[in-house]
Amino acid sequence: MKRILIEKIVVTVVLTAWWIFLPMVGYDANDYRNADVLEHLGYMVSHANVWHLLGNLFVLWLFRNNLYLLPSLLIGFLCSLLPATGLWPMGMTVGFSGVLFAIAGIKWGAYCRSFVLAGRWFEREALWEFSMKAVPFALIGIIIPHINWCLHLYCLLAGFVYGRYNK
């Protein structure tokens, strides 16, 4: 439990310090072919405004137990390299939400994996629960302007696969 608290504090300090002292860095979601690695690494620590930062920190602090921070950061980076599209032009993608969706996906995958010993029926029920409770949070971004819903969905699903099949 102590490690989780330390991780949350470190992430909070890094994200807040970046927002206060450093410039916003992100990548153009509409031009994924010209990927600058630093922009794809920096997008996770940059935020568009204080409300964006506070919203992501709020969700971070809601998570309990293991955060799976390292695999979630890797998933957030790798998924940022995939093409993204939306109803409106997305512009620059910034924020920690991709990592948060990866954390949620890993947690749901681990939850579903826990039912394998109980039998396939329970695993299907857990997968249905994931599909009805978690996936809609990623898909709602389709109708909200300036939200990279593709990144959210990619991170959630990649996190789920990681959590479900990683021992």
The predicted-structure confidence for 96-141, as pLDDT tens digits, reads as follows 999 999 999 999 999 888 876 655 667 778 888 888 988 998 999 8
Largest Cα–Cα separation, the chain = 52
The tally of domains found in the chain comes to 1
Cα separation, 4 vs 2, whole angstroms: 5
pLDDT of residue 32: 60
Residue 61 belongs to a domain with what CATH number? 1.20.1540
Rg of the chain in Å (alpha carbons): 16
What mean pLDDT comes out for the span 1-27? 94
> In terms of residue numbers, what domain contains 145?
2-165
Q: What is the pTM of this model?
A: 0.91
Tell whether the model's pLDDT for residue 1 goes beyond 90.
no
